[in-house]
Homo-oligomer: A and B are copies of this chain.
């Protein structure tokens, strides 16, 4: 039996959106999987009851404290021991759940990932990634998107490994094309970090570690023509993500509706995996809708089913 924990306190629309998303996810799960709702038991029961949903379909774990978005992540992780996030990580550590997802405090989720799930041996810096639909309908996985804002080239090279494993195992891409985000196509382009990272990735590719296709320019991230995995440091990756969100908002306000921009709707996206740690952890957008929660639960489950952590451990 696979058990996926979901933080009922997580996100701006909790607990309503979380419970509704969990019910939707439960409807498509096999009998070998169960969703564990962590939060205030009374509120969760009430939400289930309001939706005419039988509480027996879920495990409910009473974790009455909430880590707020304004709380200091490390401090609150230490002091709010009955919070849904701390309880979730403790259950992960004990093997009582197989994956944990929350649309709550990103900081607290990262503290739990680093302090409880812990980096895999050999991984310099765990990372967070996002997989976004391209114009072609394929997905492009970008990492890091905001955790490691000062990356040595060696860290970027590891992201190529991590991204390649994620894209092949979880996204299901065969021999995913891994590229370095750079401001030109040629190997001589870029800043000092990118130039060295290019060399390291070329050498790794020669050893058959992954399918390195060279540099991808920012204009081609979303075309699907060049890369399935885009490697960059967290400052640049977060810039790409936030600029994209900015254009999304402008388009939404201007009534622009195309399949491409609809695909970028981050309120529907299934969360951001934390990669390179010893457990399956997913962080959702604070504005997650029920659809986003459902997708986040299913993507977390998929990472468990494909043994993503074991596959990554093998590579380091």
Contacts and interface: CB of A to CB of B under 8 A. Distances in A.
A235 B194 contact: yes
Interface residues of A, number: 39
Contacts of A241: 218
B239 A149 contact: no
* A interface: dominant SS: helix
A307 interface: no
Interface of A: 135, 146, 149-150, 181, 183, 190-192, 194, 217-223, 233-236, 238-247, 249-251, 253-254, 256, 258, 260
16 contacts: A146-B183, A149-B183, A150-B191, A150-B192, A183-B234, A183-B235, A183-B238, A217-B242, A218-B241, A218-B243, A219-B243, A221-B246, A236-B236, A243-B244, A247-B247, A256-B256
Which of A149, A217, A249 has the largest number of chain B CB atoms within 10 A?
Answer: A149
A247 B247 CA distance: 9
B247 A222 contact: yes
A116 to B, nearest CB: 25
A249 B150 contact: no
Nearest to A181: B239
